[in-house]
Amino acid sequence: MKTELASYQRLVQARIDRNRDNPAWGRLDDAWLHIVTHAKGILAAEKQGRAGVRHERIAAREVVALVDAVPPRAVIVCTLAMFVMLEMEPRRFRSDDAFRTPEYSDGKLSDSSRGACGG
């Protein structure tokens, strides 16, 4: 998936480079930071023994793992590239669920899904 996504990441990065002053990039950076803060809160609650939703804890762990492995802007570029890929090659995804749901095995993101954005 990583090599297939690379051309779309280049398209997104070119758009960012052409429109550096667009406030959308700052908003996306802020949104990512909000997601990270929320994920850390979920994990802190779990450590304190509070009940939670399993899929939210799994997602929170993946977000925190991304924070440690990938620059924030790379996550944004990768995410936008996935939407560009969906728009330009809709047949690559069998369904909306196939686009929105990464591959999991035993509660962990698969290596192919994790590697798509460099994580």
Q: Quick one: pLDDT at residue 105? A: 44
- The pTM assigned to this predicted structure is 0.76
Q: Judge contact between 84 and 15, C-beta under 8 A.
A: no
Q: Quick one: pLDDT at residue 106? A: 47
CA gap 93, 89 in Å, rounded: 8
Residue spans of beta strands (DSSP E) within 1-103: none
Model confidence at 94, in pLDDT bands (50, 70, 90)?
confident
pLDDT digits 0-9 by tens, 96-118: 777 777 654 444 444 544 555 66
Helical packing angle, 23-47 and 54-69, nearest 10°? 120
Q: Quick one: pLDDT at residue 116? A: 59
Q: Where are the domains of the chain?
A: 2-115
Amino acid found at 72: P
pLDDT digits 0-9 by tens, 25-60: 999 999 999 999 999 999 999 999 999 999 999 999
